[in-house]
């Protein structure tokens, strides 16, 4: 049987904890061959992002069209897209190439507080990209931004927002509960059709959690590429992120908020 191939369409994080670098490590760790189309570069370390340089959209298109013309892609993960023109470019390419699975991590703001998607691009992402994806994996602030509401503070609000996101067009939603730090558990909500499943893991206390969102979404893409059923892919991906967080303190990379251990 051919090796499953996953593609990440995302941005470089030179510190290796998030972005394209995290995606490729995760693909490898979970048994998928990794391919990557870069849409932007960041300058960043474990303290934050100091600059963003985008790739011209015509060259993003060329990267995607050249890759798809030759390589069978089993699953796509989409990460940081930086601006509305890049969102449009990626949407157009997905419409041309129609990969079997698309996982969208709607990256907006880094944990350091740096903005990674321009404000006016949120609407393009919601209106054009969301309806094309098989699953969207927002954290609570991203879900709130997409819905134009305040971040959920109660279980009921989180549940309502997870279902509302599916009504915006994403086929499935994994709403990540990690930002509700008052809770001893980190509970994610997986909505598939009318079914809502709560996925809980005990919270890992560490300042080294850079790249958890990138890791989770690329883990889902790798497992879908391997043929896992949806429920299994989401559960296994969360378990992988929990392990990556537990091992993070052993890395000692950088002096700020360090990366998780892929």
> Which residues of the shown chain bind ligand PLP in the complex (CB under 6 A)?
10-11, 13, 18-19, 42, 44, 79-80, 107, 110-111, 116, 210-214
Q: Which is nearer to ligand PLP, 29 or 197 (CB)?
A: 29
Nearest CA among 30, 61, 52, 38 for reference residue 222? 30
**CA atoms of 218 and 10, how far apart (whole Å):** 11
CA angle 228, 232, 235 (to 5 degrees): 135
Least distance in Å: CB of 194 to ligand PLP?
30
Nearer to ligand PLP, 38 or 197 (CB): 38
User: Measured from the CB atom, is 83 or 227 closer to ligand PLP?
Assistant: 83
In 3D space, the residue among 242, 193, 197, 252 whose CA is nearest the CA of residue 216 turns out to be 242
Question: 3-class SS at 46?
Answer: coil
Q: Which is nearer to ligand PLP, 57 or 197 (CB)?
A: 57
What's the closest the beta carbon of residue 107 comes to ligand PLP, in angstroms?
A: 4
Beta-strand pair 135-136/102-104: parallel
Q: Say if residues 145 and 123 touch (Cβ distance below 8 Å).
A: no
CB of 19 to ligand PLP, least distance (A): 3
3-state secondary structure of 172: strand
CB-nearer residue toward ligand PLP: 41 or 158 = 41
In whole angstroms, what is the distance from residue 142 CA to residue 122 CA? Answer: 10
- Find the residue with minimal CB distance to ligand PLP: 19
Distance in Å, CB of 76 to ligand PLP, minimum: 15
Nearest distance, CB of residue 44 and ligand PLP, angstroms:
6
- Residue 104 CB partners (closer than 8 Å, separation 6+): 78, 129, 130, 133, 135, 136, 137, 170, 217
């Amino acid at each position: 049987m051919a090796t499953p191939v996953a593609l990440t369409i995302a941005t470089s994080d030179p510190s290796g904890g998030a972005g394209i670098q995290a995606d490729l490590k995760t693909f490898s760790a979970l048994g998928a061959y990794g391919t990557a189309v870069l849409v932007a570069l960041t300058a960043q370390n474990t303290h934050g992002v100091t600059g963003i340089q985008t790739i011209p959209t015509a060259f993003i298109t060329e990267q995607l069209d050249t890759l798809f013309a030759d390589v069978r892609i089993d699953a796509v993960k989409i990460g940081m897209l930086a601006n509305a023109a890049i969102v449009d470019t990626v949407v157009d390419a997905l419409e041309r190439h129609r990969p079997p699975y698309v996982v969208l991590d709607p990256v907006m703001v880094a944990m350091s507080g740096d903005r990674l998607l321009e404000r006016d691009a949120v609407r393009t992402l919601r209106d054009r990209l969301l309806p094309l994806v098989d699953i969207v994996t927002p954290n609570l602030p991203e879900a709130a931004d997409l819905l134009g509401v305040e971040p959920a503070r109660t279980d009921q609000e989180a549940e309502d927002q997870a279902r509302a996101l599916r009504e915006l067009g994403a086929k499935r939603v994994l709403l990540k509960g990690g930002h509700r730090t008052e809770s001893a558990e980190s509970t994610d909500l997986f909505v598939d059709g009318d079914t809502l499943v709560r996925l809980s893991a005990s919270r890992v206390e560490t300042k080294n959690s850079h790249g958890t969102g990138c890791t989770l979404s690329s883990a889902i893409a790798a497992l879908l590429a391997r043929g896992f059923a949806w429920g299994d892919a989401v559960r296994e991906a969360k378990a992988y992120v929990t392990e990556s967080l537990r091992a993070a303190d052993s890395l000692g990379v950088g002096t700020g908020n360090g990366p998780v251990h892929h």
